[in-house]
Amino acid sequence: MNRVSPPCRWLPLLLLIGLTLQQAMACNTTTSDINLGTTSSLSLPTTTSQAAGAGGLTCSGSLQLLTGAYLRVTLLSNTLVLTGDQGGSVPFTLYSDSGYTQPMLSGQTTTFGAANLLAIGGSGISVPLYARTQLGANVPAGTYTGTVSVRWYWAICPSGVLNLCTWDTSPGVVQPTGTACVLNCTPTNWGTGALAQISVKLIVTKACQLSTLAAVDFGAQALVSQFAQRTQTVVVRCTNTEGFTLGFGNGQNYQAPWRQLASGANRLRYNIYRPDGVTVVNTAAPFPAVGTGSSQSFEFKAIIDPTQANVPVGTYIDNVVLTVSY
């Protein structure tokens, strides 16, 4: 009889340990963040930005001790859009999977299981959600933010046998009890759930691209006065609403106020002008413009000074740098 009594004395201690493990996990909805990082305004229309973040539900406790989990989330927001501090908007989509193949729709409920819970450091676990921008946005540079509202429903068993578990549940959840919960403890009533907010952020930077700048060829003439002026086009693409300037350098042989083409020691004076053929364009007096996010064409004229003396036969060359400042 004395040999039977030790297990009886240990039983309360084992039950106490099991109860402690089960009470170690509690879930709550929180405000979480998804940071989409930084992208160029010129890349945004054709390249998506995507990132994962905590989906607004976090649980304390150990993922290794988890026995069972039933989770649902409903997207409440009707429109998913990031709004910029300088104007403009960037639409985005929220996904339930890391492959970005399962978009979440407003009013739609997505079901998760224990496999969707991920450790988030320390003793916390969470269910990640995934955000990705949509293509086509042509917007000013700035910081773009948006808020997503979701409602979480959950029933989580921290450890132990399912039908003996002390479940952590969202408000109003009803589950099978007793032996009915041995194989399937899926809630029969998911209750009212708990609201969570997800903040999404994207930084869009300004940029410019020089698409086209052809060489200027004055052709061949015998006399300086016979050279015709040349009109050339510069094609530039800059951030929507972003101010920028086009300025030509003075070239390799500058002698104020003229740029000069060179052939050995010989020089042929010329200049680069705005379309009026009068106003010289240089870095000190650049051509101002405002970007549209699309390609823009700007004309300039190159004119040889017809009043200068004729020069010896030869090929005359100069190299000028075009600077786009923004």
Distances (CA, A) of 48 to 64, 166, 266: 35, 44, 54
185-193, long-range: CB < 8 A, 24+ apart? 185/68, 185/70, 185/155, 185/157, 186/70, 187/70, 187/153, 187/155, 190/72, 190/153, 191/153, 193/72, 193/74, 193/151, 193/152, 193/153
pLDDT the model gives residue 249: 98
Share of the chain above pLDDT 70, in %: 87
Instruction: Give which of 25, 123, 122 is closest to 68, Cα–Cα.
Output: 25
Does the pLDDT at position 242 exceed 50?
A: yes
Query: What's the CATH code, domain 208-325?
Result: 2.60.40.1090
154 φ, ψ to 5°? -155, 155
Tokens of 73: 């989330």
Split at pLDDT 50, 70, 90, the class of 162 is low
pLDDT the model gives residue 159: 63
Average pLDDT value for residue range 71-80:
97
Distance CA 7, CA 242 (A): 79
pLDDT the model gives residue 62: 62
Split at pLDDT 50, 70, 90, the class of 118 is low
* Lowest-confidence region among 72-81, 176-185, 267-276: 176-185
Distance CA 101, CA 112 (A): 15
pLDDT the model gives residue 64: 55
- CATH topology (fold) of 25-205: Immunoglobulin-like (2.60.40)
pLDDT the model gives residue 46: 98
pLDDT the model gives residue 14: 31
pTM of the model: 0.84
Q: Report yes or no: 40 and 207 within 8 Å, Cβ to Cβ.
A: yes
Does the pLDDT at position 10 exceed 90?
A: no
pLDDT in tens, 132-146: 999 999 999 999 999
Kindly write down the DSSP assignment for every residue of 144-165, as one continuous string.
EEEEEEEEEEEEEE-SS-GGG-
Split at pLDDT 50, 70, 90, the class of 117 is confident
For residue 222, the one-letter residue type is A
Distances (CA, A) of 93 to 144, 156, 245: 15, 28, 36
Does the pLDDT at position 196 exceed 90?
A: yes
pLDDT the model gives residue 67: 63
Average pLDDT value for residue range 61-80:
82
The pLDDT mean for the chain works out to: 89
pLDDT in tens, 261-274: 999 999 999 999 99
Domains 25-205 and 208-325 share a fold: yes
Tokens of 196: 């969570």
The full set of domain ranges for the chain reads 25-205, 208-325
Split at pLDDT 50, 70, 90, the class of 126 is confident
Cis bond leading into 257, ω under 30°? yes
Does the pLDDT at position 18 exceed 60?
A: no
Distance CA 223, CA 50 (A): 62
pLDDT in tens, 267-326: 999 999 999 999 999 999 999 999 999 999 999 999 999 999 999 999 999 999 999 999
pLDDT the model gives residue 165: 78
